[in-house]
Amino acid sequence: MPGKRAILHERHTLPFFLLAVLLIVGWRLAVLGGSSLNLSFDEAQYWLWSLTPDWGYYSKPPFVAWSITLATQVCGQAEACIRLPSTLAYGLGSIFVFLAARHLYGDRIAFWSGLVFLTLPGVAYSSMLVTTDPPLLMFWALSLFFTLKALDAKKPLGWWAALGLAVGLGLLAKYAMILFALSLALYLGFTPAARRKLTWQGPALAGVLALLLYLPNFLWNAGNGFVSYLHTKDNANLAGSLFHPEKMVEFLGSQFAVFGPLLFAALLAFVVLAKRNGGDGKLRLLAFMCLPILALMTVESLLSRANANWSAPAYVAGSVLVTAWLYQKNRFSLIRLSVVLHIALATLVYNYEQTLSLLGLPLDQKTDFAKRLKGWPEVGAKVSALLNDHPGAVLMSDDRKLMASLSYYVRPFPLSAVKWNPGGKVHDTFDLNAGFKGDASQGLVFVTERETIPEIAAAFKTAEALGATRQEIHPGFAIEMHAFHLKDYQRP
């Protein structure tokens, strides 16, 4: 009878896990639907890209824009619809984390590995925003599963082909997907037993398919001065001083928040005790798909800086690694405790204002971490009124962040908006696609954070100040900008 119960339990593990995914994703969608938080300027910029689907954009490859295009066609242009792809991507990604763990360790480890990944603090937070990380991690999870199948299959070419497609799509989501290929190469390079089982055809097929799928973005970059690659290089910021131990400490500290305090502590313990793990080939594989990325970003943080989320791909394999290792060490209770802790933490964050109220704490500029995601509909309405007062005038600004937010919150959407960039150098997506060319016969409503614009006013025959726009969020914190009506551009 115990054996039959075990078989029954294993048969039902996947349905139970899918039910857990459905409940958690449904909860997050409900939170999104009820949220009053506005889009960040980056999110608004991705939405603006989605209106013109292309093979590339100034700072990112195209998948995030494609996903928003699909989501908004299905459910509309509301903030929740724009953010919808992130929540769904993590749900799908967790299923492939489950499948990867089941391939290695069976159903019990699979269930908890998938649940660990889906409830990670970084995933819970990122599910509420539209960024390039959710699709990246989704394709990373697909790639991990396909890699495991390809390494073990008797006829692996189909799995290598699937891996190539997953990596190619991942590259169209975020260039960091190249680190998956590098991690796999390191594993094969340092694991002769795994390398001897392979023929060259499988990895070659995966590489060719990945490159072919990614090729359109490369060609787009080639036609636009390789702006996305240059932006990625600038983000690395390796031109100045190359020793910042305080940044490294800050980065490592942030990983306790991204991966969870208990899980990241367990991962560090695994590294310290690595020699005691013996010849466990499964843990070795997972370690190669996790630790090199974390090590690389730690070095990056020492040399320059590294955002907390840059290490996020490490925690796809890391979720399986830590779950399996703690199980082997008879510390599985830490996994259950972490999942409960992370769900509780997400509940507090998703209901942050109510939590502050219950604790008797004020919601002000010091305690409101989301204050920059408030007030934009009101600001957009005020700028919309200025445009209505000047029929035919085109919206213009000199700031990327301001232009992105106004592009979404001014109604109707000011799709003809332009950016003031007299030097012609490309610093952002608006310089690339929406630079002012002097062709505004009906004038411009220029919106800026600056109180005076003498050098800009001098380029027009008339420059009328339209006053200041101020939207207070909290005492001491407000969105402030100034507007001017510019007419008759005088070419230099």
Same domain? 450 vs 485: yes
Least confident of 41-55, 111-125, 259-273, 274-288: 274-288
Q: Is 359 inside a domain boundary? A: no
Can you tell me the distance from the alpha carbon of 303 to that of 401, in angstroms, rounded to the nearest whole number? 27
Q: What is the mean pLDDT of residues 416-424?
A: 92
What are the respective helix, strand and coil percentages of the chain, to the nearest 5? 65, 10, 25
Confidence at residue 6, expressed as pLDDT on a 0 to 100 scale: 45
In tens, the pLDDT along 336-371 reads 999 999 999 999 999 999 999 999 999 999 999 999
Beta bridge partners of 472: 478
Q: What is the mean pLDDT of residues 291-303?
A: 95
Q: Is 357 inside a domain boundary? A: no
Same domain? 314 vs 397: no
Count of structural domains, the chain:
2
Q: How many CB atoms lie within 10 A of CB 166?
A: 27
Confidence at residue 440, expressed as pLDDT on a 0 to 100 scale: 79
Confidence of residue 238 (pLDDT cuts 50, 70, 90): low
Question: CA nearest 118: which of 260, 11, 9?
Answer: 260
* DSSP sequence for 197-211: T--THHHHHHHHHHH
Contact 334, 161 (CB under 8 A): no
User: What is residue 435's DSSP assignment?
Assistant: B
Tokens, residue 94: 């967790």
Q: What is the mean pLDDT of residues 28-42?
A: 96
In the listed set 288, 316, 350, which residue is the last one of a domain according to the structure?
350
Same domain? 274 vs 408: no
Q: Is 345 inside a domain boundary? A: yes
Question: If DSSP codes are grouped into helix, strand and coil, which group holds residue 31?
Answer: helix
Can you tell me the distance from the alpha carbon of 203 to that of 163, in angstroms, rounded to the nearest whole number? 9
Confidence at residue 4, expressed as pLDDT on a 0 to 100 scale: 46
Q: Is 356 inside a domain boundary? A: no
Q: What is the mean pLDDT of residues 54-68?
A: 96
Same domain? 299 vs 436: no
Can you tell me the distance from the alpha carbon of 416 to that of 396, in angstroms, rounded to the nearest whole number? 9
Confidence at residue 442, expressed as pLDDT on a 0 to 100 scale: 84
Q: What is the mean pLDDT of residues 92-103?
A: 98
Same domain? 337 vs 376: no
Beta bridge partners of 446: 396, 484
Ramachandran angles phi, psi of 39, nearest 5°: -70, 140
Same domain? 384 vs 426: yes
In tens, the pLDDT along 166-224 reads 999 999 999 999 999 999 999 999 999 898 889 999 999 999 999 999 999 999 999 99
pLDDT surpasses 50 at 5 = no
What type of residue sits at position 345?
Answer: L
Q: Which residues contact 160 (CB under 8 A, 6 or more apart)?
A: 146, 150, 201, 202, 203, 205, 206
Same domain? 127 vs 14: yes
Q: What is the mean pLDDT of residues 91-105?
A: 98
pLDDT surpasses 50 at 263 = yes
Angle between helices 2-11 and 13-34 (to 10 degrees): 40
Q: Is 253 inside a domain boundary? A: yes
Confidence at residue 7, expressed as pLDDT on a 0 to 100 scale: 40
Same domain? 381 vs 255: no
Domain extent, residue 285, equals 10-350
Asked if omega into 391 is within 30° of 0 (cis), the reply is no
Q: Is 365 inside a domain boundary? A: no
Q: Which residues contact 136 (CB under 8 A, 6 or more apart)?
A: 170, 173, 174, 176, 177, 312, 313
Q: Is 411 inside a domain boundary? A: yes
Confidence at residue 298, expressed as pLDDT on a 0 to 100 scale: 95
Question: CA nearest 488: which of 463, 464, 460, 453?
Answer: 460
Can you tell me the distance from the alpha carbon of 243 to that of 18, in angstroms, rounded to the nearest whole number? 46
What is the pTM for the complete model shown?
0.94
Can you tell me the distance from the alpha carbon of 238 to that of 305, in angstroms, rounded to the nearest whole number? 9
Same domain? 187 vs 310: yes
Question: If DSSP codes are grouped into helix, strand and coil, which group holds residue 440?
Answer: coil
The mean predicted confidence, pLDDT, of the chain is 93
Q: Is 459 inside a domain boundary? A: yes
pLDDT surpasses 70 at 236 = no
Confidence at residue 3, expressed as pLDDT on a 0 to 100 scale: 45
Tokens, residue 67: 């996903």
Confidence at residue 103, expressed as pLDDT on a 0 to 100 scale: 97
Same domain? 324 vs 402: no
Confidence at residue 233, expressed as pLDDT on a 0 to 100 scale: 75
Confidence of residue 423 (pLDDT cuts 50, 70, 90): confident
Same domain? 127 vs 184: yes
Same domain? 259 vs 406: no
In tens, the pLDDT along 143-156 reads 999 999 999 999 99
